[in-house]
Amino acid sequence: MAPCGIEPFPDSEIARVVGLLELLEDRGGREDGYKIARDLNLKFADLLQVMKTGEVLSFIATPAGDVVLEPLGSRFLQSDVNQRKLIVREQLARHSLFAYLARLLRAQDERSLSREVVLEHLAMLLPEESPERQFRGVVNWGRFAELFGFNQDEERFYLDQDTAAAEGPKG
């Protein structure tokens, strides 16, 4: 954890996390991490990022080198796309980085910030991490969960309108 109490978000794509969950489900809910890496022809370090993301979302656990599908991960797999988004949104809202950025955006009149300002915050909050990588992950996961959005043309990072409406008025 960074000195400010904000944790970085692991660098992993949504599709890879879903793929890991599906593989675990196919294999009875538990498998050796090294075996998964071999079977998928992945470097263990690459799989580790996917596993970290799954753990952060409470979809998997990793006791003693195994990767275990947790009940929330199973529920995610059995859900339709809208329910999946809601599950991820709820998990992201508990993560310190996403919670910080949501508070920061709610404090803005337009509930948005320039990409540059967000990158500055990330660089200050997580000096050991790549701000670009963290930004990319926050945007990708935030878009999937309909928590955050990013307007590429204006380079504006914003709180999703549905999320903003659900939170009530700023104050």
Task: Give the CATH architecture of domain 81-167.
Answer: Orthogonal Bundle (1.10)
Residues 7/96, Cβ–Cβ less than 8 Å: yes
Query: What is the reported pLDDT for 165?
Result: 45
Query: What is the reported pLDDT for 2?
Result: 54
With vertex at residue 100, the alpha carbon angle to CA 96 and CA 105, rounded to the nearest 5 degrees, is 150
Same fold across 14-78 and 81-167: yes
Task: Give the CATH architecture of domain 14-78.
Answer: Orthogonal Bundle (1.10)
Question: Which residues contact residue 42 at a Cβ distance below 8 angstroms, ignoring those fewer than 6 apart?
Answer: 36
**Hey, what are 103's tokens?**
């508070």
Query: What is the reported pLDDT for 170?
Result: 42
- Show me where the domains of the chain are located: 14-78, 81-167
Query: What is the reported pLDDT for 65?
Result: 87
Residues 28/61, Cβ–Cβ less than 8 Å: no
Residues 148/93, Cβ–Cβ less than 8 Å: no
List, run by run, the mean pLDDT of 10-residue segments along the chain (171 residues). 80 95 98 95 93 97 96 98 97 96 96 98 96 97 96 96 51 41
How far is the C-alpha of 34 from the C-alpha of 136, rounded, in Å? 28
